[in-house]
Structure 1
Amino acid sequence: MAIEVTPVPELKELTNFQSRYPRHLAVTGEGAVYTSVTSTDDNTTPPFAPVPGLDHVAAVSQYSESNKLNNKFSDWQRYLFLKTDGTVWTSIDELATFTPVPNLKDIVQLEQNYALSKDGSVWTWPDQDSYVPETYSDPAQITATPFSGLKDIRALYNNGRSRLAVDGQSHLWFWGSTVTGYSDGTTYQDHPVPVVFSGISKVTDAYIVERSIVALTSDGKVYAASIAADRISPDAKFTLLASGIQSIKGGGRHVIMQKNDGTLWGWGVNKNAELGYGTYEFSYKEPVPMQKPISVSLNGESIAFTNGVITRNGQNFIPLRSLFTKMGATIGYSMDKVVTITGTAADKTPLTIVINTVNGATTVNGKSVTLATPPFVVNGTVYLPLRFISEQLGAKVDWLPQESRIAISMK
């Protein structure tokens, strides 16, 4: 599937971006806020427009709330805006009006209903939930109070249920929910009192990823610990995931890591190919390399693929019918998942390549050949080794690293 990337000219030098369907919010380096709302009818997104009445904004946070005050159900989207002067402003009427949040000053970070002050103190206010009557109050009024049990905090992380904090000594703290069970049997156990972990130190960054805590340390190592338990223990076991990492970014159910050599690696849930590994395997327990975009040309002409090039063990694979027919070959695919490629070899003799995509067994003109990495199937698409088949068909294959392009030439 081809993806078209379209620039958004009105958005320049972005410092913060939040997206919670259907509204998208962007903050520019000048402190202006732009918004766009995706149509729920045809799923189109109009151009971004500036939000009037807001300026000098450094960051934005948003989450959903609801209550049953006076036995009447109400729900709304809570928007919070951190300004460069350290004040926090809120809106509950889809950005029509904005009011300052009392008690919050010198704030440096917002994480939903938690705020971090410059002095290392953490502030919070109720996140209204129609299932939790004690959270009910006038939604137009936020009363922020100091959160006890934490001090000298340098960073906060909040996924809505579970929270993390890193203090000035690079210790990692946890409070909020652990989780057990699945589907209708999912149960959350609340742990309102923060605990500091003894099994990890020198923490510089951390996220809640699905049912795990993932943390990066100052020596470039990434560790994971499970929160799939009835309770969280201060001596929870942290398992090494990767080394040589310079930064990480959590995505809710997965995490992307950037190594010191610039390569990107993913870990966690991959249901919708979030890890960029070129598969739809539901999840990975070990980090996998994110695929770089690779283009292919034949005699100088760019080749369009229905699906992109996938690299496995240093070899590039392409979709079954994307290129080889342009090289004069005929492609056959049988019900027993065997690919047959017929064409002309480099010495102008007839060529027949037979590849069993189930077990990788391959023959060239009837002679068995062992492939270093066998073909594979991703989401119903068969991938074949580009260089091996191209060279069998008499083509010359060159890798142009500066262009991230594979150049194929044949007479």
Structure 2
Amino acid sequence: MMKKRNLLLSMVMGLTACLTLGTPEAATAAASTGASDISSYGPNHLIKEDGSLWVWGGTKSVPTQVHGVSEIQASYPLWNNGALVTGRDGSVWKWETNARTMAIEVTPVPELKNVTHVQSSYRRNIAVTGEGTLYTSVTSPGTNTVSPFAPVPGIDHVAAVSQYYENNKLNNKVSSWQRYLFLKTDGTVWTSMDELATFKPVANLKDIVQLEQNYALSKNGSVWTWPVQNEYEPETQSDPAVVTATPFSGLTDIRALYNNGRSRLAVDVQSRLWFWGSTVTGYSDGTTYQDEPVPVVFSGISKVTDAYIVEQSIVALTSDGKVYAASIAAELMSPNAKFTLLASGIQSMQGGGRHIIMQKQDGTLWGWGVNKDAELGYGTYEFSYKEPVPMQQPISVTLNGESIAFTNGVITRSSLNFIPLRSLFSKMGATVGYSMDKVVTITGTAADKSPLSIVINTVTGATTVNGKSIPLPTPPFVVNGTVYLPLRFISEQLGAKVEWLPQEGRIAISSK
């Protein structure tokens, strides 16, 4: 079956063939030094061994530390802004970016403890605790008021949650709803389509170990499925509350499922990669999806340990540390699809829908794919990259021992560190001004106690100190409207001592 989709969905899915390389200048934006102090990471965050949390994407073009939380164990992104994070003691916080100031704001969530899973969608967040209790928070339409998390009665011992949108057309009337599915610790799956008011078991499912929308993986390696209700589909049921699963033919001995809502992958016990679902042809509002219901196994790749659908590409990691990509831009997916090497020396990867983040064996993080909202943490907003790029190393800054919060993280270019305009220098006693002609003026006191005036033209890079022209090896720059200034040069002009502590990933500034 073939269907045309609207422009928005087409833009989301149709961009792989127009990926572009970054400029040589952008290539210096990320530090290539080791990052072995990373404890865990996701597509838009990382947690260091010291328990600090760093995030990127949106207004955060590079990893930016979230202040106000510590000893972080896990992070779960929310639908439109921020995330829920859990501490090693089970405490839960919510962080989000203030739309006006761009600052990260942190709020404790005392009603939650020991969160192990979060499912976030438009107007509803669902959290699962280590005890299997389900909590939900709802955003009210119109007022955008967010309710506190409250326990959901009627279901317990939940391990994971999945969801998707459904509708049907009965008696010429279209109805729509969110289908929620709950994998319980006993291996059964339950469903709700009335905003968590009632729950019913999905018939025929037992010993389930993974749930991916309308596909379930049993511990014996069999895959089960059930129809997604759609007003255009003939399988629309008269009672949407009743869900019955049936075996999905063509797949056996499966150990992992992957799904982006349209296209699906599976890895079997022989580490072979399987595909079924949608392929795509065309671009923009002419995008067309073709359904390939019968699974095909790829002959051109083996030893697969992990895989994702990223835009119009399949990305797979093999046991020898190599990442390959193959296009799904075709009317029919061939078992002989060509897989092209993207990267080597990779120990793990995380998929973010439109991009992936990979960790090399030296601990560094690298990104590939769409970068429209700085998803790669590379320090640019270049739309996308067809070659992996190194993520900016997370760097913290302290002033006289106090950790400094930034609206956007430190950016390294040509081995020099740059920081946002108003983030630090005012704390060192300086006055910072920015004129309409994009000239920065910093006035303060120099090391010898004499008056100090630094003037920097952020367009040309021309810099003067007390009227004397000073050449800068790397001029200031602007990222997404934020002016970045050289940290060491200005700090030392203000009489401060600047020390780089590579083992901590920290710049320590001492100022009297």
Q: TM-score, normalised by structure 2?
A: 0.72
Q: CA deviation at 1:216?
A: 1.5
**Correspondence for 1:310 among 390, 407, 411:** 411
**Bigger relative contact order (CA 8 A; separation at least 6):** 2
Rounded to whole Å, the distance in 2 between the matches of 1:22 and 1:308 is: 30
| Cα deviation digits, residues 111-134 of structure 1 (max 9, x gap) | 101111122111111111123334
**2:118 matched to which residue of 1?**
17
| Cα deviation digits, residues 255-288 of structure 1 (max 9, x gap) | 2223334443332223233333344333233333
**2:151 matched to which residue of 1?**
50
Rounded to whole Å, the distance in 2 between the matches of 1:17 and 1:306 is: 26
**Correspondence for 1:280 among 364, 381, 385:** 381
Gaps of 5+ in 2: 1-101
State the SS of the aligned residue for 2:106. coil
The answer on whether the counterparts of 1:153 and 1:168 sit within 8 Å (CA) in structure 2 is yes
Deviates more, 1:306-315 or 1:358-367: 358-367
Q: CA deviation at 1:202?
A: 1.0
Q: CA deviation at 1:380?
A: 0.9
Rounded to whole Å, the distance in 2 between the matches of 1:272 and 1:152 is: 39
Q: CA deviation at 1:62?
A: 0.8
Q: CA deviation at 1:179?
A: 1.7
Distance 1:337 1:19, change over 3 A: same
**Correspondence for 2:185 among 67, 77, 84:** 84
The answer on whether the counterparts of 2:119 and 2:127 sit within 8 Å (CA) in structure 1 is yes
**2:104 matched to which residue of 1?**
3
Distance 1:314 1:129, change over 3 A: farther
The answer on whether the counterparts of 1:67 and 1:133 sit within 8 Å (CA) in structure 2 is no
Aligned-partner residue type, residue 86 of structure 1: G
Rounded to whole Å, the distance in 2 between the matches of 1:370 and 1:222 is: 39
Rounded to whole Å, the distance in 2 between the matches of 1:264 and 1:272 is: 18
**1:98 matched to which residue of 2?**
199
Deviates more, 1:244-253 or 1:73-82: 244-253
**1:182 matched to which residue of 2?**
283
Rounded to whole Å, the distance in 2 between the matches of 1:169 and 1:369 is: 60
| Cα deviation digits, residues 307-329 of structure 1 (max 9, x gap) | 33223354321112333355465
**1:75 matched to which residue of 2?**
176
| Cα deviation digits, residues 90-147 of structure 1 (max 9, x gap) | 1111111111111112211111011111221111111111233344442122222211
State yes or no: 1:171 paired with 2:272.
Answer: yes
Rounded to whole Å, the distance in 1 between the matches of 2:476 and 2:429 is: 21
State yes or no: 1:36 paired with 2:122.
Answer: no
Aligned-partner residue type, residue 168 of structure 1: V
**1:377 matched to which residue of 2?**
478
State the SS of the aligned residue for 1:369. coil
Rounded to whole Å, the distance in 2 between the matches of 1:13 and 1:262 is: 28
The answer on whether the counterparts of 1:68 and 1:136 sit within 8 Å (CA) in structure 2 is no
Deviates more, 1:401-410 or 1:314-323: 401-410
Rounded to whole Å, the distance in 1 between the matches of 2:145 and 2:371 is: 26
Q: TM-score, normalised by structure 1?
A: 0.88
Distance 1:352 1:236, change over 3 A: farther
* Counterpart mapping for 1:115-126 below 5 A: 115-126=216-227
Rounded to whole Å, the distance in 2 between the matches of 1:292 and 1:39 is: 39
Q: CA deviation at 1:290?
A: 3.9
Rounded to whole Å, the distance in 2 between the matches of 1:402 and 1:46 is: 42
State the SS of the aligned residue for 2:221. coil
Aligned-partner residue type, residue 117 of structure 2: N
* Counterpart mapping for 1:178-327 below 5 A: 178-291=279-392, 293-327=394-428
Rounded to whole Å, the distance in 2 between the matches of 1:327 and 1:234 is: 62
Q: CA deviation at 1:203?
A: 0.8
The answer on whether the counterparts of 2:128 and 2:134 sit within 8 Å (CA) in structure 1 is yes
Rounded to whole Å, the distance in 1 between the matches of 2:244 and 2:291 is: 22
The answer on whether the counterparts of 2:152 and 2:196 sit within 8 Å (CA) in structure 1 is yes
State the SS of the aligned residue for 1:11. coil
Q: CA deviation at 1:22?
A: 1.4
**2:243 matched to which residue of 1?**
142
Supply the RMSD in Å over aligned alpha carbons.
2.8
Rounded to whole Å, the distance in 2 between the matches of 1:176 and 1:313 is: 45
Rounded to whole Å, the distance in 2 between the matches of 1:275 and 1:396 is: 32
Deviates more, 1:159-168 or 1:207-216: 207-216
Rounded to whole Å, the distance in 1 between the matches of 2:117 and 2:231 is: 30
Q: CA deviation at 1:40?
A: 2.8
State yes or no: 1:61 paired with 2:144.
Answer: no
| Cα deviation digits, residues 339-380 of structure 1 (max 9, x gap) | 565666556777665655446566666556352x44321111
Q: CA deviation at 1:332?
A: 5.8
Deviates more, 1:90-99 or 1:26-35: 26-35
Deviates more, 1:331-340 or 1:7-16: 331-340
Q: CA deviation at 1:397?
A: 0.3
**2:496 matched to which residue of 1?**
395
- State the identity as a percent: 84
The answer on whether the counterparts of 1:356 and 1:362 sit within 8 Å (CA) in structure 2 is yes
State the SS of the aligned residue for 1:68. strand
The answer on whether the counterparts of 1:35 and 1:50 sit within 8 Å (CA) in structure 2 is yes
**2:53 matched to which residue of 1?**
none
The answer on whether the counterparts of 1:62 and 1:78 sit within 8 Å (CA) in structure 2 is yes
Rounded to whole Å, the distance in 2 between the matches of 1:286 and 1:132 is: 40
The answer on whether the counterparts of 1:130 and 1:136 sit within 8 Å (CA) in structure 2 is no
Q: CA deviation at 1:164?
A: 0.5
Rounded to whole Å, the distance in 1 between the matches of 2:413 and 2:155 is: 49
Q: CA deviation at 1:182?
A: 3.1
**2:62 matched to which residue of 1?**
none
The answer on whether the counterparts of 2:104 and 2:407 sit within 8 Å (CA) in structure 1 is no
Distance 1:225 1:338, change over 3 A: farther
**2:72 matched to which residue of 1?**
none
Distance 1:135 1:305, change over 3 A: same
Rounded to whole Å, the distance in 1 between the matches of 2:143 and 2:414 is: 41
